[in-house]
A = this chain, B = another copy of it.
Amino acid sequence: METIGFIGLGIMGQPMAENLREADYELVVYNRTEEKADQFVEGGGEKASSPREVAEKSDVVITMLPDSPQVEELVLGEDGVAEGVSEGKLYIDMSSIAPATSRRVHEVLEEKGVEAVDAPVSGGQPAAESGDLAIMAGGSEDAVERARPILDVMGKAVTHIGPPGAGQVAKAANQVVVALTIQAVAEALTLVRKSGVDAAKVREALLGGLAQSKILEMHGERMLEREFDPGFKLSLHRKDLAIALQAAREEGVPLLATAQVAEVMNALLASGHGDDDHAVIARFYEELAGVSDAESATS
**A170-189 contact mask (Cβ, 8 Å, vs B): 1 or 0:** 10111011111101110111
**Which of A157, A170, A251 has most B Cβ within 10 Å?**
A170
Contact A189 B201 (CB under 8 A): no
Contact B211 A178 (CB under 8 A): yes
Is A234's beta carbon under 8 Å from chain B?
no
A residues contacting B by CB (< 8 A) are 99, 122-123, 134, 136, 157, 159-162, 165-166, 169-170, 172-174, 176-181, 183-185, 187-192, 194-195, 197-198, 201-202, 204-206, 208-216, 218, 244, 247-248, 251-258, 260-261, 264, 285, 288-290
Query: What separation, in Å, do the CA atoms of A160 and B215 have in the docked complex?
Result: 23
Binding site of A, secondary structure by majority: helix, strand, loop or mixed? helix
A256 contact from B201, B212, B248, B264, Cβ within 8 A:
B264
A289 contact from B206, B215, B252, Cβ within 8 A:
B252
Contact B176 A187 (CB under 8 A): yes
Query: What separation, in Å, do the CA atoms of A184 and B173 have in the docked complex?
Result: 9
Contact A209 B134 (CB under 8 A): yes
Given A169-B191, A195-B99, A260-B257, check contact A202 B161 (CB 8 Å).
yes
Contact A173 B161 (CB under 8 A): no
Query: What separation, in Å, do the CA atoms of A179 and B173 have in the docked complex?
Result: 18
Return A208 CB to nearest CB of chain B, in Å. Answer: 5
